[in-house]
Amino acid sequence: MIIIENCAVATVDDDRTEHRSGHVVIGDDGRITALGPGPAAVGDRTATRVDGTGCLATPGLVNAHHHLYQWVTRGLAQDADLFGWLTTLYPVWARLDTEAVYAAAAAGLGWLALSGCTTSTDHHYVFPPGRDDPLAAEIEAARLVGLRFQPCRGSMDLGRSAGGLPPDALVEKTEAALLATEAALDRYHDPSPGSMLRISVAPCSPFSVSPTLMREAAALARRRGVRLHTHLAETAEEEEYCRHTHGCTPVEYAERLGWLGDDVWLAHGVHLDDRALARLAETGTAVAHCPSSNARLGAGIARVPDLLARGVPVGLGVDGAASQEAGQLGAELRQALYAARLRGGPTALNVRQALALGTIGGARCLGRADEIGSLEVGKLADVALWRLDGLGHAGIDDPVAALVLGPPAPLALLLVGGRVVVAEGELRTTDAARLTAAALRAHRRLLARAEPAGRRAVA
Ligand code: ZN
């Protein structure tokens, strides 16, 4: 049993209950057994007691969109829009092997943990035919770091010769992609309560996936009762592509293919008109908002307050580290608030809404709001204890404002299912220096082996 007390608590439950000074008690089954104001009433002498003075306890953050493999291809195509960035990086990614994916995923997940993230998805869609299974590598990395993991088996089957954006060598055959996706579900998906590993189905984007694969992937996911994820409405160029190729907007295209529904979450949703917002709301389709990535690629600012006003579930994603080198989820709380206010003015989004996006909003995207995303008795003990009494935060009396508006806060403690992953700002499940060295080695090896186009990207 772990007893955290004397800390502020922001539960992010339905009533948004907060305590100026309170406690959270975690049972040996990895779930929250008590929570409330003041000290814990439990007198168990064997319990580990954590003095949270000067700290704020929140639900662990939930990352709703990522491409972990990109950790080893950061810093390239620095001034490109999405399509230019992708065409520069595809030849580099074509040389990915499982060792690079493992090193990238371990580094990316370790860094996420250090920014308060307890659950992450990943969207891996680069499966050069004839290579080992990169999904297995990133699952192994998630086990090492100790985060709850919901990777997507992504896919691309629309190469350049068929009118798509990626080179032909980087795409799979439609049938092979579907079979491999089903095999990943068979092998890894754990639907049980408290699961540390669930798999979602995620063809990549309208310009890299055929309509057949989109339709069949949705049918597969629904047959197997798992969630669906894809990129949609990220850039103006994507909208042009959809209008030119399919004669409709990205959201109309998605709807045509059976891709709206309460089992779907979409990455980005930047370019949405009122009709698209209404269809997302009516169908319960969720959106993973990626404000830093959208800024890095100059994609635009998503209409998050409008989505929230209509009841669309919205979570936060850091997105792949090649389009968002910072790779931290804690910092996205502030970025989401800033982006919303740059578009809609000073009342567009407040600090508590930002925290909700990064916690319960992400949990709704992943279909796990019954178990994670808020601190409530019976839920999984995925808890972030942020230290707010240091130089960067002391004097900001509202702890949620200190967390969201202040600099990235250090973690006193990060628990996943009651297991310590971070303590006093350091990873406890693995060695951060080793992760750094392995990622650097993989980066150098990959760039040295990359096609000339990849080398040019570095020059
Ligand atoms: Zn993405």
What does the pLDDT look like over 249-259, one tens digit per residue?
A: 999 999 999 99
231 Cα to the center of ligand 1, angstroms: 6
For the chain, give the mean pLDDT: 96
- Average pLDDT on 269-293 reads 98
188 Cα to the center of ligand 1, angstroms: 22
Architecture (CATH level 2) of domain 2-58+380-427: Roll (2.30)
- Integer Cα distance of 82 and 90 in angstroms: 12
Q: What is the pTM of this model?
A: 0.97
151 Cα to the center of ligand 1, angstroms: 13
236 Cα to the center of ligand 1, angstroms: 15
For residue 334, name the pLDDT band (cuts at 50, 70, 90): very high
- Average pLDDT on 133-144 reads 97
33 Cα to the center of ligand 1, angstroms: 36
Burial class (CB in 10 A: 0-12, 13-18, 19+), 193: exposed
Own/partner long-range contacts of 422-427 (Cβ < 8 Å, ≥24 apart): 422/113, 422/114, 425/114, 425/387, 427/110, 427/113, 427/114, 427/145
- Average pLDDT on 210-224 reads 98
What pLDDT is stored for residue 287 in this prediction?
98
- Average pLDDT on 194-223 reads 98
CA distances from residue 54 to 9, 17, 22, 405, 411 in whole angstroms, order as listed:
11, 19, 12, 17, 11
For residue 459, name the pLDDT band (cuts at 50, 70, 90): very low
Tokens of 50: 């954590």
- Could you please report the per-residue DSSP string of 399-423? HHHHHHHSSPPPEEEEEETTEEEEE
416 Cα to the center of ligand 1, angstroms: 25
Nearest to 177, CA basis, from 216, 151, 138, 207? 216
32 Cα to the center of ligand 1, angstroms: 33
pLDDT at 109 over 80: yes
pLDDT at 117 over 70: yes
90 Cα to the center of ligand 1, angstroms: 14
CATH number 3.20.20.140 is the correct assignment for the domain at 61-365 = yes
What pLDDT is stored for residue 451 in this prediction?
55
329 Cα to the center of ligand 1, angstroms: 14
- Integer Cα distance of 346 and 349 in angstroms: 7
Percent of the chain whose predicted confidence (pLDDT) is above 70: 98
220 Cα to the center of ligand 1, angstroms: 22
- Average pLDDT on 100-119 reads 98
43 Cα to the center of ligand 1, angstroms: 47
CA distances from residue 380 to 9, 27, 134 in whole angstroms, order as listed:
16, 10, 28
For the chain, which residues make up each domain, given as ranges?
2-58+380-427, 61-365
198 Cα to the center of ligand 1, angstroms: 19
Residues 119 and 358: beta-carbon distance below 8 Å: no
> Apex CA 243: angle with CA 89 and CA 85, to 5°?
10
67 Cα to the center of ligand 1, angstroms: 6
204 Cα to the center of ligand 1, angstroms: 8
- Average pLDDT on 261-287 reads 98
pLDDT at 455 over 60: no
Q: What's phi and psi for 244, nearest 5 deg?
A: -70, -45
For residue 383, name the pLDDT band (cuts at 50, 70, 90): very high
